[in-house]
Structure 1
């Protein structure tokens, strides 16, 4: 497999999806292969290279989890300990939940916390403390340990655990625990550090197809543990090599015992009908693809998207970074699937939905919501469509420009009686989820991308 073949595929796929700038890296057969294409910004275009910084979004969560495992190894944190041992000031809407949530509940998204609090708590060293104080307003979707539901708030709270235990601001703690020992010298949280280097900006596509720069470039400091890191594709392959290894840095320094590194890749909770994976480890999504175990995490920021996937059994990794929404998502997915097929012979296919069933469609149509978004299902002709929107009051009250809403997508129900579905068109094509029922058998909720939406009305209401 020539390096030119990867470059040709990346250029053709970026052109197909209309992405201004992309950076792709593959670790295979003990060597790095890169393909970068396009520009950092449509307003101020500079070539994208392997050292260009992109906002990684939720890939940052893998750093937060790994840093906590370093503190576990030092005996400073216990995964099964209640979070209040380290953050005694934690207040939640449910006092019993606040007492019971463990560190592991945060790291595998089983704390029962809704997605997050949309709040700017400033850029000072107290930003994360301020965010955690606002969590008293956050809704709970269940009791700790009941189920997995993806939560930005949970990881921001995990970052506060790191601050309390180390006595350092989160960003300095990550630098000390991970960046310095691993030689990660091109990864940053502060915009002031990023702006002196080449970096990509996000883009949104308007109704007329025109791309515009997405602003702000990244969100508030209080969100850093769950999604604030900026890094390059070259730096991410170094991060991948560390997690594929035995816990040593490239210079031989022991950063984590191999056993603890391996524990992060062991299932802690199963996931149902999720494109994210079959299970969650500690900070990682675990998924079997064509009989091969993959370990990875995706991320989205304001018009920037990241996909990070490793195959430990094959000493393989692929990283894809793109700077336009919503098509950065299918671009990254296409790159990862091509790399798996081309380098490993591993095929990743979407499941096929069943033909339209009017009776089943009537059961699921309606409006669902969580703390920040609405999810509406309608039956149109002989098909189902869904639309995910940021709540108007959230958008109106935001101090910053929020990402564009997701256009309606076609989807279909999957075979069996599990109320599972797959999106069949648009930027979320291939994403899977499921509907949940109450004790009486009525559809009461829906999951998408690991997030729970609760039903509030039928489509005809």
Structure 2
């Protein structure tokens, strides 16, 4: 595959979707290729390049997990140990969960914790400790070990384990144990480090659909372990090559590659068929892929590895909501044109009004509501940040998206697929209780509990 064809596709797709700035890196056949397009900001435009910093959001979790696994390899942490061995002050709403939750439960999202905690605990070195103190306010949606449900809060707690075991701040511990040994000199947490370099800002559409700068660049320091890192596509390919390689001085090879082995199955998710340790594992066209995505305020990232082909692709974009569609389009194009691996969406069943009506209602998690509606001819799904959180926040929160059309997939598993909008192709499923009643909806690995059925 030629550099020219990659660049042509990236530019054409970014222009079609109206993304101000994008950066793509590919590792294939033992060499790196890059394609960039556009600008860092519509207000203060600089060309996006291979060293431009983007906010990676939840791709940060792969760094947090790797730093924790180094402590495991050094015999300082045990995966099956209770979290309270390392963070004895931990208090949760469910005391049984706090007692029995293990380190592995956090790493593979089986701790049963709610998605996130919207709190501000400052920018000091005690920010993460303060965040963990507030976790008593977090919902416990399932007993530890009983199901997978993605949790930002769980990874922030992993970060606190790292602090307690190393005696360092989370950021310093990751830099010392992972970033510096790998020569990742263009990857940072602190805005003081980021602002002296070329960096992309996020964008969200205004009332006319025109991209406008998102003023909050990234989340609070207490959320750094789950989503606070910024990096470039060149550094991300370095990160990918490390995880494809032998581990070097950072991790023994068996520990490194053990992170990519299934620990728990996922059901009905576009993100993957299973979790390893942090990584989403997914079979695409007969090939196992290993990856993680991330999102912030108008910024989106994707990192995908194909270990059996010694292949990786990383994509970053700086506009919502269509940055998601851009990243997915690039990843799919790269897989097909470099590896002859085709990622196809399943086809939904024809609309069934009776089947659809059973799902209509409101579902929620701590920070968002999910509403399923029908007009008799189809289903829509709308996800909104709770208005009381917007009203209470003194920071700019990411924009809400218009409702998506969804279709139910064949079979009796209550699986669905998004068929329109920025999240087209995203899959999820509805959960039933023992009596067969719908009690939850899964989206992007997160369980939304049902709070109101259609009247």
Q: How high is the TM-score relative to the length of structure 1? A: 0.98
Q: Identify the residue that residue 63 of structure 2 maps to in structure 1.
A: 63
- Structure 1 residue 341, shift from structure 2 partner: 0.1
Q: Retained in 2: the 8 A contact 1:377–1:459?
A: no
Q: Identify the residue that residue 322 of structure 1 maps to in structure 2.
A: 317
Q: Identify the residue that residue 229 of structure 1 maps to in structure 2.
A: 229
Q: Identify the residue that residue 109 of structure 2 maps to in structure 1.
A: 109
Q: Identify the residue that residue 450 of structure 1 maps to in structure 2.
A: 445
Confirm whether residue 373 of structure 1 aligns to residue 368 of structure 2. yes
Q: Identify the residue that residue 251 of structure 1 maps to in structure 2.
A: none
Secondary structure, counterpart of 2:212 in structure 1? strand
Q: Identify the residue that residue 46 of structure 1 maps to in structure 2.
A: 46
The 2-side partners of 1:265 and 1:283 are apart by: 8
Confirm whether residue 301 of structure 1 aligns to residue 293 of structure 2. no
Note the aligned Cα RMSD (angstroms).
0.6
Q: Identify the residue that residue 264 of structure 2 maps to in structure 1.
A: 269
Q: Deviations over 1:135-177 (max 9, x none)?
A: 0000100000010000000000000000000000000000100
287-296 or 451-460, which deviates more: 451-460
Q: Identify the residue that residue 336 of structure 2 maps to in structure 1.
A: 341
Counting only pairs closer than 5 Å after superposition, residues 4-403 of structure 1 correspond to structure 2 as: 4-248=4-248, 254-403=249-398
The 2-side partners of 1:458 and 1:162 are apart by: 42
The 1-side partners of 2:58 and 2:402 are apart by: 22
Secondary structure, counterpart of 1:407 in structure 2? coil
The 2-side partners of 1:2 and 1:266 are apart by: 33
Secondary structure, counterpart of 2:117 in structure 1? coil
- Structure 1 residue 207, shift from structure 2 partner: 2.9
The 2-side partners of 1:101 and 1:288 are apart by: 29
The 2-side partners of 1:320 and 1:240 are apart by: 12
Q: Retained in 1: the 8 A contact 2:270–2:444?
A: yes
- Structure 1 residue 459, shift from structure 2 partner: 2.8
The 1-side partners of 2:337 and 2:107 are apart by: 33
The 2-side partners of 1:138 and 1:28 are apart by: 43
Give ranges in structure 2 of 5+ residues lacking alignment.
Answer: none
Report the count of equivalent residues: 455
Secondary structure, counterpart of 1:8 in structure 2? helix
Counting only pairs closer than 5 Å after superposition, residues 402-441 of structure 1 correspond to structure 2 as: 402-441=397-436
- Structure 1 residue 440, shift from structure 2 partner: 1.3
Secondary structure, counterpart of 1:452 in structure 2? strand
Q: Deviations over 1:384-409 (max 9, x none)?
A: 00100111111111121111112111
The 2-side partners of 1:89 and 1:289 are apart by: 43
The 2-side partners of 1:373 and 1:416 are apart by: 29
The 2-side partners of 1:13 and 1:330 are apart by: 9
- Structure 1 residue 281, shift from structure 2 partner: 0.2
The 1-side partners of 2:13 and 2:154 are apart by: 35
- Structure 1 residue 206, shift from structure 2 partner: 2.1
- Structure 1 residue 188, shift from structure 2 partner: 0.5
Secondary structure, counterpart of 2:215 in structure 1? coil
- Structure 1 residue 442, shift from structure 2 partner: 1.1
- Structure 1 residue 208, shift from structure 2 partner: 1.1
The 1-side partners of 2:414 and 2:359 are apart by: 9
The 2-side partners of 1:230 and 1:390 are apart by: 24
Give ranges in structure 1 of 5+ residues lacking alignment.
Answer: 249-253
Q: Deviations over 1:273-324 (max 9, x none)?
A: 0011000000100000000000000000111000000000000000000000
Secondary structure, counterpart of 1:364 in structure 2? coil
The 2-side partners of 1:11 and 1:281 are apart by: 34
The 1-side partners of 2:311 and 2:16 are apart by: 26
Secondary structure, counterpart of 1:417 in structure 2? coil
